[in-house]
Amino acid sequence: MTSNLQNQINANIEDVKNDIEAMCTHVGVEICAPKVIAVSKVQPLERVVAALDAGQRIFGENRLQEAEERWTDLKPKYEGLELHLIGGLQTNKANKAVAFFDVIQTVDRIKLAKTLSAEMEKQGRSLPVYLQVNTGMEAQKGGCMPDELPALVAAAKDLKLNVVGLMCIPPQDSDTTLHFGLLKKLAKRHGFARLSMGMSSDFALAAAMGATDIRVGTAIFGERDYG
């Protein structure tokens, strides 16, 4: 790894923190220190290692297989590592997801909630989970529809899942403040403390609007190369 890459990743992480502080100061929010989840999907290993060496310990992955390939060897080397699943999860992969991840952010249907509950009981784990809400009501996107959330919340409670908050991915080119506002309203209604919202293009705004978790990829690592 080159020192230039390490310096760039260090600077990027610091910029993220500074942008959050500046936005929160601008809007008059006094307490504003969301958990920064570095989204490492499709990023080269050397960039991920640079972030680890910069002290970053919380990472988000979209796909189980990619996460296993990237993190199986890295996990034992870095104490305090926390891996979040932030992509959709098929029920037939729930057993591996429960074994591998520390947090699952994309519980969006009762069938998945039931499967995860059974797997956690089987494995003796109680992972924190977020319920994903499709705030844009996009047919092609994961997340339960807002009007389906009460039933999902009730089922998750019956299943004794450790639901800590809500998560959303607003539509591209939309006014994200509307979606952040809706998610915050829904979380308050159902008594959840955590809000996972905001990505590289709008993380500072999300933080100022109450995000407790922000998912930042390119702002830390640089643009992805999908080949």
Domain-by-domain residue ranges, the chain? 3-221
Cα separations (Å) of 116 from 59, 122, 123, 134?
Answer: 21, 10, 10, 20
Query: What is the band of 1 on the pLDDT scale with cuts at 50, 70, 90?
Result: low
* Start-to-end C-alpha separation, the chain: 21
Q: What tokens appear for 128 in the block?
A: 């924190």
Residues of the chain above pLDDT 70, percent:
98
**Identity (one letter) of the amino acid at 109?**
R
Query: What is the band of 2 on the pLDDT scale with cuts at 50, 70, 90?
Result: confident
Taking only the tens place, the pLDDT of each residue in 77-117 is: 999 999 999 999 999 999 999 999 999 999 999 999 999 99
In the CATH hierarchy, which fold is given to the domain comprising 3-221? TIM Barrel (3.20.20)
Q: Is the dihedral of CA 225, 93, 84, 48 positive or negative?
A: negative
Whether pTM > 0.85 for this model: the answer is yes
Taking only the tens place, the pLDDT of each residue in 211-221 is: 999 999 999 99
Query: What is the band of 73 on the pLDDT scale with cuts at 50, 70, 90?
Result: very high
What pLDDT score was predicted for residue 44?
A: 92
